[in-house]
Structure 1
Amino acid sequence: MIVAGLVIGALAVAAPAAASTPTPTPTSDAPTGTVRVVAADPADTQAAASALVAGMSLREKAAAVVMGTIPTTDAGTLRQYMTTTGIGGFILMGSNVPATEGQLRALTAALTTDPALPPLIAIDEEGGDVTRLPWDTYPSSVTLKDQPAADSEEAFAGRGALVLRAGVGVNFGIIADVTADPSMFIFRRALGTTPDAGVARVQAAVTGESDDALSTLKHFPGHGSAPGDSHLGIPTTGMSKATWAATDALPFEAGIKAGAPVLMFGHLRFTSVDSAPASLSATWHKIARDELGFTGLAITDDLGMLEASGESALQDPVANAVTAVAAGNDMVLEIMFSNADTATRIVDGLVAAVGSGALPAQRLDEAATRVTRLRLELAAEGRGLMPCADCTPAG
């Protein structure tokens, strides 16, 4: 629920405000060089996000669309990383998860340099084979795929609350891929062994998480029909567009209709649709939006996986990021080869790409606005900002 009278914090906004858009209002507690924006209509986060992005520099926009990570549980180091890079998101990996929930909540608080415009803090908390939180004992797809859909709703309701309690606003946790083949890489992680089973369980999982962490559907357009491990290569299938639309597409469509706000694009080739991996394909982004009706935030799977594929054309992480945003991703994710300098290099590359025309400025504006809108919604709804009795303030 949107909090009435919310004061939204952001970077400096210079654009004049119309009567129906937020009005920039400096406040005494804002850090130097910032203003706080009071939304005329607190529910209109789209107008607020547009106003904020209009006032951002090109570099701030580029930073907003990057989600990075560094391997540490030191709160000071993490805070410095977010402050220095200015990036819009951080993904928690196993190397970022301390021993207790309280310690983790203190860590996520350190990542949030402005609570009124929190970063998108995300985690891969699927449960089962992909569990970052040792205290997550809720059932996972390993067993949920054989249980009634209601069990998926219950499990993800608990998991979403667990993630949110840790100060994490986004869960990359719902596998919408479909396969009945136990030899497939994604089999144990998939919620459905048939399209219909996937529809029921994915929809239930999104419904379960809806009051807590923001749900993410992955790996679009579907890993279940593309053999291989996308951490090691680019899984490829010749499945036709028509067959896909009648099978693998259905759980994604159901999750979108259920309200999942984030869609992760996989490094998967459906050669009958596009020779490029879906994560770098404008065609697949158009399909997601125009045919499946997705209006939320599109994010890549880890771009480092493209480098790990060994394909010579995919060895430049900056070029991959530029191509990904130009194709329609609103956020790029870098994990596998990420270090303290990676995010800055990607931001530099996006800025240069706008300057050269390789990345249309309008596309970057659109991406930055979608990211900013979701960040404002997190702030408005208090997701990830819940009190923690045993957390110490970061400082």
Structure 2
Amino acid sequence: MRAARRRTAAVVAVALSATLLSGVLTGCVGPAPARTAGGTRTAAAAPTPSPTPTVDAVEAYARQRLANMTLRQKVASLFMLHTPGTDPAALRGYVDRYGVGGMILMGDNIPATPAELAAQTAAMSASDPGLPPLIGVDEEGGDVTRLGWDDQPGADTLRSQDPAATRDAFARRATLLKQAGISVNFGTVADVTADPASFIADRVLGTDPGAAAARVTASVTGERGTVLSTLKHFPGHGESEADSHHAVPSTAVSKQDWSTRDAPPFQAGISAGAELVMFGHLAYTQVDAAPASLSAAWHRILTDELGFRGASITDDLRMLQDTGLPQYQDPGENAVQAIAAGNTMVLDVLPAGGDPDALIDAVVAAVQQSRIPVAQIDADALKLLELRRSLSAEE
């Protein structure tokens, strides 16, 4: 997401083996022993988890909902959009009007207190509590912090500390997000670079593949079961200094070198259970001249080679428009190409006056013109329905 949207409100071959990493993290997971009055040590009682639907029930519910949706409703559910402001009624109205599957909160959506934010997010889900929208935020810590009350360190601090510190910071951060009603954190930067001139340098969790992979794993582990984790920005910004907020960074790095230098943190995060992967607007020209966010080749690599089976999402498509390149000035066509390439969900922070209906209509038309298979829309919509249903406390 936009590096310029910084601190607001007042302000991942893995070189480390799985054995080493688990050794780093062992001892901090699970309830600590407790001592009874007589001095005998017993296991502390685990907290009672919130009720969530079973996997079979989630799938059955999602399939039933899908069967009753129109094509337009399915397409609309593939969008995560943004509208400014902190008025709960207005935010709820936006979700209800367009039927989007998610909303991203930017700095202009964050009120002064956690209670106010929780009220906003609750309102956004109130119309259909059995199927809440995905509510996402960029909460990395450090340079990219949306919640002014998040005092946990970011990558600039964590990459010089033991991976356990990353796990702990992201666990606490995830708790803050869940308390505020936020279900998706676009917070785990899996890019890796040792180049201080790179625009992503201050945000990476490690300057070499092994260090980054260890802390990406720790980040996902910390968030696990509290919020949905996102790995970004696939396939990795570390091979170019250019900023994708103003250009489409390009690199001639070979696929083999990418597999060695850039893939390990993403593979580690996937193995740790990250539910989402965000595709970046950058081109590895030896694989595809198109930006990865619009590249079917990179989506195949993610699924077939890295084994990812979760939901993929674009980085903010508005960034492509902001490059000024003529081929990216039609937001509807950008959305069509993104879904056709294989993204499960499209993220677009529309500018003032942006038209969500136009985006949805463009994708519907592309389906009707056979540019995107109906079966693909159904599969994407079902995946997101299952993800959203899994967030509901309803049985």
* Equivalent residue number for residue 104 of structure 1: 117
* Equivalent residue number for residue 102 of structure 2: 89
2:134 to 85, 100, 120: 120
Instruction: Tell me which amino acid in the other structure corresponds to 1:262.
Output: L
Contact kept in structure 2, 1:236 and 1:269, CA below 8 Å: yes
Contact kept in structure 1, 2:216 and 2:269, CA below 8 Å: yes
Please give the root-mean-square deviation of Cα atoms over the aligned residues, in Å.
1.5
CA distance in 2, matches of 1:142, 1:340: 36
TM-score computed with the length of structure 1 as normaliser:
0.85
* Equivalent residue number for residue 24 of structure 2: none
CA distance in 1, matches of 2:145, 2:394: 26
CA distance in 1, matches of 2:394, 2:143: 30
Distance 1:210-1:61 versus aligned 2 partners, 3 A rule? same
Instruction: Tell me which amino acid in the other structure corresponds to 1:356.
Output: Q
CA distance in 1, matches of 2:366, 2:143: 38
Instruction: Tell me which amino acid in the other structure corresponds to 1:211.
Output: G
* Equivalent residue number for residue 318 of structure 1: 332
Contact kept in structure 2, 1:89 and 1:122, CA below 8 Å: yes
* Equivalent residue number for residue 34 of structure 1: none
* Equivalent residue number for residue 190 of structure 1: 204
Distance 1:194-1:42 versus aligned 2 partners, 3 A rule? closer
**Once the two structures are aligned, what percentage of the paired residues are identical?**
51
1:356 to 366, 369, 390: 369
CA distance in 1, matches of 2:353, 2:389: 26
Give per-residue Cα distances to partners, 1:102-137, cap 9 Å, x unaligned.
Answer: 000001111112111000000000011000000000
1:220 to 234, 250, 257: 234
Distance 1:219-1:42 versus aligned 2 partners, 3 A rule? closer
* Equivalent residue number for residue 306 of structure 2: 292
CA distance in 1, matches of 2:136, 2:351: 16
* Equivalent residue number for residue 152 of structure 2: 138
TM-score computed with the length of structure 2 as normaliser:
0.85
Contact kept in structure 2, 1:68 and 1:90, CA below 8 Å: yes
CA distance in 1, matches of 2:205, 2:344: 26
Q: Is the aligned partner of 1:247 residue 2:295? A: no
Instruction: Tell me which amino acid in the other structure corresponds to 1:108.
Output: T
Question: Which structure 1 segments of 5+ residues have no match?
Answer: 7-40, 383-395
Contact kept in structure 1, 2:250 and 2:284, CA below 8 Å: yes
Query: Deviation of residue 45 (structure 1)?
Result: 2.3
CA distance in 2, matches of 1:142, 1:341: 35
Question: Which structure 2 segments of 5+ residues have no match?
Answer: 1-48
Distance 1:260-1:334 versus aligned 2 partners, 3 A rule? same
CA distance in 1, matches of 2:68, 2:278: 28
Q: More displaced, 91-100 or 74-83?
A: 74-83
CA distance in 2, matches of 1:235, 1:364: 29
* Equivalent residue number for residue 3 of structure 1: 51
Q: Is the aligned partner of 1:72 residue 2:120? A: no
Question: Secondary structure of 1:219's partner?
Answer: strand
CA distance in 2, matches of 1:225, 1:150: 27
Query: Deviation of residue 342 (structure 1)?
Result: 2.5
Contact kept in structure 2, 1:87 and 1:343, CA below 8 Å: no
Alignment of 1:1-395 (within 5 A): 3=51, 6=53, 43-112=56-125, 113-335=127-349, 337-339=350-352, 341-380=354-393
Question: Secondary structure of 2:288's partner?
Answer: coil
CA distance in 2, matches of 1:281, 1:68: 21
Contact kept in structure 1, 2:138 and 2:186, CA below 8 Å: yes
CA distance in 2, matches of 1:363, 1:334: 20
Instruction: Tell me which amino acid in the other structure corresponds to 2:209.
Output: P
Question: Secondary structure of 2:84's partner?
Answer: coil
